[in-house]
A and B are shown apart, each in its own frame.
Chain A
Amino acid sequence: MSAHTAVAAARRSGSAARRLTYLTLTAVAFFSMLPLYYSIVVASRDNAALADVPPPLIPGGNFFANVARVFDTVPFALAMLNSVIVSGSVALAVMFFSTLAGFAFAKLRFRGRNALLLLTVATMMVPTQLGIIPLYMLMVKLEWTGTMYALIVPALVNAFGVFFMTQYLSRALPTELLEAGRVDGCSTWGLFWHVVLPAARPAAAVLGMLTFMSVWNDYFWPLVVLTPEDPTVQVALSTLASGYVNDYVLGLAGTTLGTLPLVIVFALLGKQIIGGIMQGAVKG
C-alpha cells in the first residue's frame, strides 16, 4: 500500500471529525453574528418590548422612528461627517507615508537601515495610553483640543503601516524593475512615483481599509480630546450609551447606525481585508 492510499484512507475515516469541524465553525459563525443581529432586533422595537418574556427575537417596525430619535438626541450627522473626514484623511496619509517608508526600508540601501527598521518595530510595543496625559497637554498648547487636528495629525503614519508595506514591497516588488527605471534616468522620487506606487496598490488598499476601520472605531483618545458638541461617531455613541442609561433602544439604534456602514463595507471587501491581515501576520 502506497503512502498516498494510506492518507486517503485516513481522510475517509476522518469524516465524522469533519462534520464536527463544520458544526463548530457554524456555531462560532452564529455567535459572531448574534450580537449584531440582536442589536438590530432591539433597535427596531420600543422599550416596552424589552420587558417581554421571552425577549423579542425578530425585528419589529420601529427602526426608523428610533433612528430619528438618535438624530434628535445627539449631533449624529455631524459626527458621521467628522468620522468620515478623520478616518478618510488618516487612511490616505497612512497609505502614502507607509508606502514611502516601506519603499526605503525594502529596496534602498542606506546606513543604519536595519537599526531604524528594528526601532520602528520596537515602537509598536509602546502602549499608546501611556502618553495620553502629556499628549493632551500638548494639544492644549497647540489649541487643538476640540478639533479634528488632534485626531488626524498624531495618526498620519504608524509603525504597523510602515512594517506592513516593508514586508509587502520586499517580496512583491522586483528589484529588476527598479534597476530598469534607474537606467532610464529616474530619480529615487521618480521611481517611487512611477514604479513603486502602482506596484504597492493592492497592499496599500488593504492597509487603507484596516486603518479606516480602526480610526473609525477609535474611542478613548477622541473621548478625551473632543467635546460632545463636535464629536466623532464613537463619542456620540458613548453619549447615547451613558446619558440615557435606561433607554437601551436608543443606544442600540445608535450603535446599529454607527456600525452598519463598516459591516457593509466589510461584507463586500472582507476577503481582501482578511488576505491582507494574514499576509502581514506571517512573519509574526
Chain B
Amino acid sequence: MATRAPDRLAAVPPNRPVGPRRRLRRHLVHQLDVKGSPYAYVAPFFLLFSAFGLFPLAYTAWVSLHEWTLLQDEHPFVGLENFRTLLADDYFWNATFNTLSIGVLSTAPQLLLAIWLAHLLNRPLRAQTFFRITLLLPNVTSVVAVVVIFSQLFGRDFGMINWVFSLVGVDGVAWNEGVLSSHFAISTMIMWRWTGYNALIFLAAMQAVPRELYEAATIDGASGMTQLRKITIPMIKPTIIFVVITSTIGAMQILAEPLLFSSYIITGGVDRQYQTLSLFIYENFTKLDFGYASAISWMMFVFIVVVAGINYLLTRRGKGGLA
C-alpha cells in the first residue's frame, strides 16, 4: 500500500504566530472544517441518490394511483384501480410465473456450482490466475453479446447445440418456442454470465476461513466433500445469504435476455412464453401507459421483498452448524 507520506506535504507552511483575533477566526474555521466538511464529502452520493433513485421510487407510487398516459394531458386519480386491473390480468400472472421459473432455473444450480467451483479453487493450484480470469470472462461480456451468441448456439436448424444433439441421435429442439425449453435456454445464458462472478465472491469468503480447521479435519480423515459441507459452508454463511439475496433481486429483474432472445418481440415470444415482469413493464411503458406500468413496478418491488425475505429465512435456517 502507498503509505509513504507524499513530498508535497512538506510544502505546507508551518503555523505562524498570530494575534488573538485571527487565532479565534482560525479556530472557528478549523472547527467548521472538522465538523462540517465530512457532510460535504458524503453529500454528492446522497443528493444524486435522492434525485435519481429515491424520487423516482416515490413518484412511481404516485403515478401508479393515476390513469396516466403520455397521450393525454389530464391524469385523473383512480386510486387502486390499476392494481385491481393488474390482479385480474392473465398476462401479469403469466409474466410472474415466467419470472419465477427462469429465476429458479438459473439461480439454484448456479449457486451450487459457484460454491463447488470456489471450493476447487480454494487450495494451492497451479495456474490459479488463469482459472480465475477465465471464470470472470463471461461477466465482462455484455448482455447483448451473450444473447446474440447464445441465440445462435440455441438455433433450431443450424445451432451448435442441436447439432451436438443430432450426433447422439436426439431430435433438435425449437428452443425459443416452448415454455420450458425457452426458460432453460435463457437460464443457461444467465448462468453462463454469473456463475464465475459468484464463485469469486465465495472464494473470497472461503479464504478467510482459518486453515487449522481443514488441517484438523484432514487428520480426522474427513473427505473434501465432508469438509465442504461441515466446515466451509457454515463458515461462509453470511456471504451465502448476501449472494442469495442479490441473485434473487437480479433474477426478479431479468429483461435483456428474454427481450433479445425473442429478436426484440416485446412480449417475450409470440405467445408470451418467456415474457418476464420487467418485460411486461417495458411493454406497457412503450404503450405509454405509465400508470399501469408503475403499478406493475410496485408489485414487482413487493415480490422482490417477499422472495428475498423467504430466501433469507431459508438460507439462515437451512444450513446450521458452526455459525
Interface, chain A (partner B; CB < 8 A): 3, 6-7, 10, 14, 17, 21-22, 24-25, 28-29, 31-33, 35-36, 38-39, 42, 50-51, 53-55, 97-98, 100-101, 103-105, 108-110, 113, 116, 120, 123, 125-138, 153-154, 156-159, 162, 172-174, 177, 180-181, 184-190, 192, 194-195, 198-199, 201-202, 213, 216-217, 219-220, 224, 233-234, 237-238, 241-242, 245, 248, 251-252, 254-256, 258-259, 262-263, 266-267, 270-271, 273-274, 277-279, 281-282, 284
Most buried by A among B129, B138, B204: B204
Among candidates B55, B149, B200, B239, residue contacting A35 with C-beta atoms closer than 8 Å: B149
- Tell me if B's interface is mostly helix, strand, loop or mixed: helix
User: How many chain B residues have a CB neighbour from A under 8 Å?
Assistant: 106
Residues of A within 8 A of B197 (CB): 277
The 6 closest A-B pairs by CB, nearest first: A131-B56, A242-B264, A154-B52, A278-B204, A284-B239, A134-B59
Beyond the given pairs A113-B38, A255-B148, 5 more chain A to chain B contacts, judged by CB atoms under 8 angstroms and listed by A's residue number, are A29-B131, A32-B138, A38-B149, A130-B300, A133-B290
Query: What string of 1s and 0s marks CB contacts (under 8 Å) between B255-280 and chain A?
Result: 11000100110000000000000100
A–B complex contacts, Cβ < 8 Å, 22 sampled: A29-B135, A33-B137, A35-B149, A35-B153, A42-B152, A51-B157, A108-B41, A110-B39, A131-B60, A137-B290, A180-B9, A185-B13, A202-B1, A202-B2, A219-B144, A219-B256, A241-B147, A245-B263, A259-B145, A262-B142, A278-B200, A284-B243
B137 touches A32 (CB 8 A): yes
Identify the interface centre among A14, A101, A120: most chain B CB within 10 Å of its CB: A101
Please give the residue numbers on chain B whose beta carbons come within 8 Å of chain A beta carbons, in ascending order.
1-3, 5-6, 8-9, 12-15, 30, 33-35, 37-39, 41-42, 44-46, 48-49, 51-53, 55-57, 59-60, 63, 117, 120-121, 123, 125, 129-138, 140-150, 152-153, 155, 157-158, 160, 163, 192, 196-197, 200-201, 203-205, 207-208, 215, 218-219, 221, 224, 238-239, 242-243, 245, 249, 252-253, 255-256, 260, 263-264, 278, 281, 285, 290, 293-294, 297-298, 300-301, 304
Q: Give the contacting residue for B120; candidates A24, A32, A172; CB below 8 A.
A: A24
Complex interface: chain A residues within 8 A of B300 (CB): 127, 130
B129 vs chain A, min Cβ distance (A): 6
Q: Are B6 and A125 in contact (CB under 8 A)?
A: no
**B203/A6 in contact, CB under 8 A:** no
Which residues of chain B are within 8 angstroms of A213 by Cβ–Cβ distance?
140
Give the Cβ gap from B133 to chain A, nearest Cβ, in Å.
4
| Contact in complex: B148, A134 (CB < 8 Å) | no
Q: Is the CB of B142 within 8 A of A130?
A: no
- Decide if the interface of chain A is mainly helix, strand, loop or mixed: helix
Determine the chain B residues whose CB is within 8 A of the CB of A189 once the complex forms: 33, 37
Q: Report the Cα distance A218→B3, complex, angstroms.
A: 36
Contact indicator B15/A185 (Cβ below 8 Å): yes
Q: Known contacts A135-B52, A154-B52, A255-B144: does B160 contact A270 (CB below 8 Å)?
A: no
Q: Known: A24-B120, A248-B152, A258-B142. Contact between A53 and B133, CB under 8 A?
A: no
- Taking CB atoms, residues of chain A closer than 8 Å to B196 are 28, 32
